[in-house]
Structure 1
């Protein structure tokens, strides 16, 4: 499993460090969308869940509410400044925060019930391999939520660009990408006000996900 190269890591950290202090104030209306997306995971009390690329931790309170005091919530991010903002907002009360590369997680195989990932896929240097690492730490049948608080078209417009056929989040691209990484796409929504793809961790005979 390849983790990020030094260049990849530095690029991601530079991008998010420059934006960390203003991140929450820039997107003040996103909290309800995060809460709704977390609800789609149908977590149960006592479940163990990771927010992969948690940023400032906007999903952590909803994840904690879903799994209760007996559950485990982890938030992993590569950028120290984003985790600093999560602590400043008091979100470390809802989760254990890890400074970690989601492409090489410090977790045992199959230890989680679910992974929530908001805006992560666009920042993965090796998407198939990196999604396979997320599959490694989830039990068979566990879930992955790939989320963004706006849909693909709205996000492209926000950045002043058009959608292109090679967009990883387009369903014809995302479905085989997930399959190659040990996930089975079970639900796909791409609307103006949210993007949410749900996938289940595959467990086929001779399975494709290593331990």
Structure 2
């Protein structure tokens, strides 16, 4: 796992930063804004971004972070919800890049700035929550800032309220500065984190590690989301055939888990009818945005969520359709257990792929793996261990399909004498 450190001048990543990130198991790669070439073609292998915005005397955000490949990388990270922590002028760039500012600074009075303090929202924040109060002597930024729509202010000072903020669920800007040499000097390599700064960076590093799997998924699919529907439109009839095997009665809630652009949602809607509900769930917001552009909201609702922690009550779902998802999850057994939790006793699970296992293995230049989760015996064992009973299994040249029902719904045959 690696964090890319973006900084404005040629220098090594500050030792204090390297030490805190390394203690969380994160390597660092440095990207200089002054470089003419961008060494990162995309976000592959990037689990987080740390933007060191430079000294207090740095130019404005438009000067420091001009439209370069580096700013494009940061925008890609924001779109894919790669965790980003930005300091100083980097925080100004973060606010500017998110567009349509609605929160405007109050125009503070120099000399009246006071001390930096947390807002009430900081207590529930994934990074700021649980940290100690900012160290005495931390110096607030003495200019105002417009924040994007939906931004949450996390720290403020008298007259200058936007000292720290969160944009969305994965990007933080911190404008007040540690004491000692740090940003008032010429190089970010002088950064000497005070105890509070170390604690904040440590919490950010822990969040990067905890989200690494989802970060990789979002990074991969975000840059493919716009073309996904057109590229795989030919598979829609196969999806419709797969959904038909669910044999759902009208009414109830049906899920398209890992829905992508929602190609199964229309078929699910046809089964549950107008009195039923369809919910498309995916962990990548860009895919859900593409689904909305292609009209999937006509068939149901779209939700960004982790399929192993579904925000649904127990036994509330009649049917789950999941295409090409299960064997790509870090803990498929946890996922199957969660899906069993939300499924009603009369419910059904269909695992699907528009090509068979042998076909997919050949496409990737490999042979079938006997340990493959989707091999019949392996899948049957996994399902039974997590509350399911495998009823149908097909691994054909043109598709893969497994149909399962909750084990509590399986009734043993009674013997008659």
Measured in 2, the distance between the counterparts of 1:125 and 1:71 equals 32
SS of aligned partner of 2:310: coil
Measured in 1, the distance between the counterparts of 2:252 and 2:394 equals 25
Other-structure match for 2:379: 174
Measured in 2, the distance between the counterparts of 1:133 and 1:46 equals 22
Other-structure match for 2:257: 52
Q: Deviations over 1:148-204 (max 9, x none)?
A: 011101111222222111111110110001111111000000111110000001228
Structure 2: unaligned runs, 5 residues or longer? 1-208, 410-417
Greater relative contact order structure (CA < 8 Å, 6+ sep) = 1
Q: Deviations over 1:97-151 (max 9, x none)?
A: 1100010000000001110001111221111111100110001131100000111
After TM superposition, the structure 1 stretch with the greater mean CA deviation from structure 2, 158-167 or 90-99, is 158-167
Measured in 2, the distance between the counterparts of 1:73 and 1:124 equals 23
Other-structure match for 2:341: 136
Measured in 2, the distance between the counterparts of 1:8 and 1:148 equals 22
Other-structure match for 2:211: 6
Measured in 2, the distance between the counterparts of 1:52 and 1:73 equals 11
TM-score normalised over the length of structure 1: 0.92
Other-structure match for 2:406: 201
Q: How much has 1:61 moved relative to structure 2?
A: 0.5
Q: How much has 1:27 moved relative to structure 2?
A: 1.8
Q: How much has 1:47 moved relative to structure 2?
A: 2.6
SS of aligned partner of 1:147: strand
2:225 equivalent to 1:20: yes
TM-score normalised over the length of structure 2: 0.47
2:295 equivalent to 1:90: yes
Structure 1: unaligned runs, 5 residues or longer? 205-211
Other-structure match for 1:184: 389
Q: How much has 1:28 moved relative to structure 2?
A: 2.5
Measured in 1, the distance between the counterparts of 2:311 and 2:406 equals 19
Q: How many residues align?
A: 201
Measured in 1, the distance between the counterparts of 2:327 and 2:289 equals 22
Which one of 237, 243, 246 corresponds to residue 38 of structure 1? 243
SS of aligned partner of 2:408: coil
Other-structure match for 1:159: 364
Cα RMSD for the two superposed structures:
1.3
1:133–1:191 CA distance, 2 compared to 1 (3 A): same
Other-structure match for 2:155: none
